[in-house]
Amino acid sequence: MPSTWLKSNPFMSMWLSAANRIGGSLRGHATAHAKRQVSAAVTAGSKQHPKLWAEAVAAACGKTRPQRKR
């Protein structure tokens, strides 16, 4: 006798399919919004403060230490 717990449930399948569709749509909208924000921040920052970006890159690179003689 087959177990009723192992049988497929069509209502659960439909509910999960709808939930995955909604979740995928929300993820796509969130990703697109985040990309737009990053693009706007980079564009605005590069137009308004090129010196600030240059200083930030220079600070990220750091200074090299002089070589010690052995």
What average pLDDT does the structure give for the chain? 80
Q: What is the mean pLDDT of residues 19-42?
A: 92
Record the pTM. Answer: 0.51
Q: Which domain holds residue 29?
A: 21-61
Q: C-alpha angle 28/34/32, rounded to 5°?
A: 35
Q: For residue 45, what are the contacts with CB-CB under 8 A and spacing of at least 6? A: 52, 53
54: in domain:
yes
Q: For residue 46, what are the contacts with CB-CB under 8 A and spacing of at least 6? A: 53
Confidence of residue 69 (pLDDT cuts 50, 70, 90): confident
Looking at the predicted structure, is the pLDDT value of residue 48 above 70?
Answer: no
49: in domain:
yes
Q: For residue 53, what are the contacts with CB-CB under 8 A and spacing of at least 6? A: 45, 46
For the chain, what is the domain count? 1
